[in-house]
């Protein structure tokens, strides 16, 4: 089984997204890209290495006699320039040149770090995304965003750098923990909320099958989510306008994530941020109270949080000031006009964000 869609960049075909259920055709895909007999470095993390590194390297041996792997310590806390330097040193010691290839095998952290390495090593080498988590397959592997955290701010240093291919083995989702899987689903739900009400409705109608990871439903969910992401990034590849809609839930979500010292998963924080954004949209009378509560409550059956323990609101609000998406000190906030239609607003006040955080805490204290 294989499906394929093409992502365009500047109105020209740029790279394909391949959807399949194993790694068996990866070597041929790499050869077809023109990397036959070039050196290949598989960049992964210490968790994914145990699951898939050997199998992937064996599949890549069809394309090259020189396939090596490097594992980053797993976790968001290792998404930094110190670890990037270690990857550079690994590549230099093995004499990788600008005609060789990097493979990002793992979740969003691995994809961002490998992509950033590829964008900057020798002023740019090719790389391929092989995402293994739901979050990476439906969101972070598509669109060419790369980067690392700096000073506690997510993705403060990075580049837009397109992969040569995105190769998705959707069966890797079966090895995710329930919490990892749910974290990725937050980004899937986000796509429906900002761009496609029908997809949002489909997700709700198929919640049991999604949670059970039924193969056909899983494939359809990943493909439809990728099609939404593709449409957005094709229109705005370097986030000058519409692509910022993909940050729905991320302004307060990132702030909560940092405040919690990354002890909560990214998608869990995005879910909370999405609820906060929907709350502000309701209070501005953009969506109805019924729509707000439906959005909030629909995260529950997908095992995502809708509340947080008592927190230092002022500390979280202060963190939003350093959000990299701010413009001249104004925070770009994504709100909903209705389910399936989002817009960018730079007038959201600190008080509105504070009230939204109160709502998150209020839920827990009264449920």
Query: pLDDT at position 262, please?
Result: 87
Q: Provide the mean pLDDT of the chain.
A: 93
Query: pLDDT at position 30, please?
Result: 97
Query: pLDDT at position 162, please?
Result: 96
Per residue in 310-367, pLDDT (tens digit) is 889 999 999 998 765 666 567 889 999 999 999 999 999 999 999 999 999 865 444 4
CB 73 within 8 A of CB 107: no
CB 46 within 8 A of CB 71: yes
Query: pLDDT at position 10, please?
Result: 86
- Residues lower than pLDDT 70 in the chain: 1, 323-329, 362-367
CA distance 308 to 362: 9
Nearest to 110 by CA among 64, 60, 56, 189: 56
Query: pLDDT at position 362, please?
Result: 60
The verdict on pTM exceeding 0.95 is: no
Cα separation values, 13 from 9, 162, 165, 260, Å: 6, 12, 11, 40
Query: What are residue 282's phi and psi, to 5 degrees?
Result: -65, -50
Query: pLDDT at position 237, please?
Result: 86
Query: pLDDT at position 329, please?
Result: 66
Query: pLDDT at position 153, please?
Result: 81
């Amino acid at each position: 089984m294989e499906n394929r869609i093409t992502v365009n960049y500047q109105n020209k075909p740029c790279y394909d997204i391949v959807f399949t259920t194993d790694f068996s055709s990866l070597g041929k895909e790499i050869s077809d890209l023109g990397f036959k007999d070039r050196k290949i470095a598989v960049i992964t993390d210490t968790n994914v290495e145990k699951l898939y590194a050997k199998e992937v390297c064996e599949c890549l041996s069809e394309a090259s006699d020189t396939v090596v792997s490097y594992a980053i310590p797993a976790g968001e806390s290792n998404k930094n320039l110190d670890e990037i330097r270690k990857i550079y040193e690994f590549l230099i010691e093995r004499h990788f040149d600008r005609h060789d290839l990097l493979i990002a095998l793992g979740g969003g952290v691995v994809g961002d770090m490998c992509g950033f390495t590829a964008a900057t090593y020798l002023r740019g080498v090719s790389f391929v995304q092989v995402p293994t988590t739901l979050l990476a397959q439906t969101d972070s592997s598509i669109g060419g965003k790369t980067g690392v955290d700096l000073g506690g701010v997510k993705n403060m240093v990075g580049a837009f750098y397109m992969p040569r291919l995105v190769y998705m083995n959707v069966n890797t989702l079966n090895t995710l923990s329930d919490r990892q899987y749910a974290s990725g689903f937050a980004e899937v739900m986000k796509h429906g909320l900002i761009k496609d009400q029908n997809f949002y409705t489909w997700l709700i109608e198929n919640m049991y099958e999604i949670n059970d990871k039924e193969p056909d439903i899983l494939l359809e969910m990943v493909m439809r989510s990728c099609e939404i992401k593709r449409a957005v990034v094709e229109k705005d590849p370097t986030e000058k306008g519409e692509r910022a809609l993909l940050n729905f839930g991320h302004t307060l979500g990132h702030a909560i994530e940092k405040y919690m010292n990354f002890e909560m998963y990214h998608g869990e924080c995005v879910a909370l941020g999405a609820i906060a954004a929907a709350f502000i949209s309701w209070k501005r009378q953009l969506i109805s109270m019924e729509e707000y509560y439906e959005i909030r409550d629909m995260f529950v059956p997908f095992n995502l949080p809708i509340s947080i323990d008592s927190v230092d609101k002022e500390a979280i609000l202060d963190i939003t000031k350093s959000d990299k998406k701010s413009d001249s000190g104004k925070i770009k906030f994504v709100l909903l006009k209705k389910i399936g239609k989002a817009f960018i607003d730079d007038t959201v006040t600190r008080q509105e964000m504070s009230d939204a955080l109160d709502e998150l805490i209020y839920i827990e204290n009264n449920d």
